[in-house]
Structures are given as structure tokens and as C-alpha cells.
Structure 1
């Protein structure tokens, strides 16, 4: 089963929001490579929930893909910060999917700690200049991160 890491700003959707909701839509991905990773996900795949653009960025927990990707409705909503004026109902290049809560970590695993792990040196997240919001995680990287909890 593939593993992933997905980033969210906690003031938009945090691991604790997802815990309270149980299930939520993951939307607003506006990078083609990240969108392609999103489309490659399958129901049941697990991902690390990463809090980004916040005082303490890091992995905050685990969630699971709850259903297949579908056209992202935020691209069509002029009130959404993810609105794309070039998108139409017939031609929507962006995707969203539903996710469900699995586990919140007792403390966020900070990016600095992840960078210090030899087993994670090839993880895209720790490489300079990588700003993807969705990325694959190998089974070995998954286990190395779980061991840090």
C-alpha cells in the first residue's frame, strides 16, 4: 500500500480539525505534480498529515484516503482562495479527495528533527527547495517516521 505526506496550514485544516470532523475534503492543490500524486492515491492509502506555514511546522498525525479523486469544486467557486478563472465545469484540471482521521501524534514531529534522520535523507520534504504539498513516502521512510513518535 502506498504511503504519502500531505501538507495543510493548520488554520485552514489541522489534524485536530480532522479528528473533530472525522472526514473532510482535501482541496486547493494547485501544482500539477502534487495534483498528479493526489490522483495516484487510492482509498485506504495512509498519509502523514503535515502542518505547514505555522509557528511549528511538522508531522502532526496520520490520516487515510477515504475515496477516489474527483474534480475540485473550489476551482469553480469565485469566493474560494483556490478559485481558478480558467476552469469550467467541463474542464477542471484540479482534483480533490476525501480524507479521514486516523491518529494525532502527542506532539508535532518538527521538520528540523526529520532533517536530522539519516533514514529520511531522500524524503522530498527535507530537501531544500521542495515546496510540494503532496508527496510519496517510501515504506522505509514511513517506518522511520513512525519510530520518532
Structure 2
């Protein structure tokens, strides 16, 4: 199993919308590195759901339930999407400021490549972030 962070602007797709939908396509990714990360996802992988822009915080957990396939919102046919299923909310959102100030998390791509929308995460960081989020 692998771990990831997927980012969304809450005005476009929020945790509340994800929770209501239950399962949804994770589409619209147009960055090649982020798209390669989508292609690497496997069924059963877990992802933190991160609200970007103004909130900048991890708010929930989703699970990959369908691996990469062509993204129908991409007219070029170059990019992919995966399907994710809502797992649970974090009891306490974990903010980007918390992550940046934590010496055990300064190495993660969320800090180093802040504009990347699909980010791999090592298992130790996953466990640490789960603890910070109360899950």
C-alpha cells in the first residue's frame, strides 16, 4: 500500500462534497508530475484530502478504488484520473503551518513542492500526520 496527498480547492471540490458523493473521479490534473503520481496509485492506496488555497489543511482520508484511466475532461487524451472513496474525516484538521513547523515532516513534498496537486507520502509521515489529525 502507498500513501498520498491529493489537493483540492474547497470552492471547486470540498471535503463536504466528497463526503456527500462517497466515490468520485479525481480528474482535472494537468501537471505531468502529478499525473504520473496518479498513474502510480493502486487500488487500496490511501490519500489525505487536502484543502488548498485559503484553508491549507488536511481534512480527511480517501481510498483509491479505481486505478488510472483516461481523463474524459482532457481533450488531448494525455492525462488520467483515478476514483477515490471517502474513508473518514480527520478529528482535527492538520494545517500546512503545523506541517512546516514539525521537524519530522519538513522533508515531505507538500512542503518542498507546494504547487504539486498529487503528492506521494512515506509511511512514517502518514502515521505521524494521522496522529496529528486524531485518527
TM-score by length of 2: 0.94
* 1:42-99 CA-partner distances (Å, limit 9, x unpaired): 0110000000112x211011001010111111113xxxxxxxxxx1xxxx11001111
Q: Which runs of 5+ in 2 are unaligned?
A: none
Q: Per the alignment, in what secondary structure is the counterpart of residue 34 of structure 1?
A: helix
Distance 1:130 1:9 in 2: 14
Give the aligned partner of residue 7 of structure 1.
7
Give the alignment's Cα RMSD to 1 decimal: 1.1
1:41 correspondence with 2:26? no
Give the aligned partner of residue 75 of structure 1.
74
1:1-149 equivalent positions in 2, closer than 5 A: 1-54=1-54, 56-76=55-75, 87=76, 92-127=77-112, 130-149=114-133
**Which runs of at least 4 in structure 1 moved beyond 2 Å after TM superposition?**
none
Q: Per the alignment, in what secondary structure is the counterpart of residue 98 of structure 1?
A: strand
Deviation at 1:18, TM superposition (A): 1.1
Query: As a proportion of its length, which structure holds more strand?
Result: 2
Q: Which runs of 5+ in 1 are unaligned?
A: 77-86
Aligned length: 133
Distance 2:5 2:28 in 1: 15
Distance 2:65 2:18 in 1: 12
Deviation at 1:147, TM superposition (A): 1.1
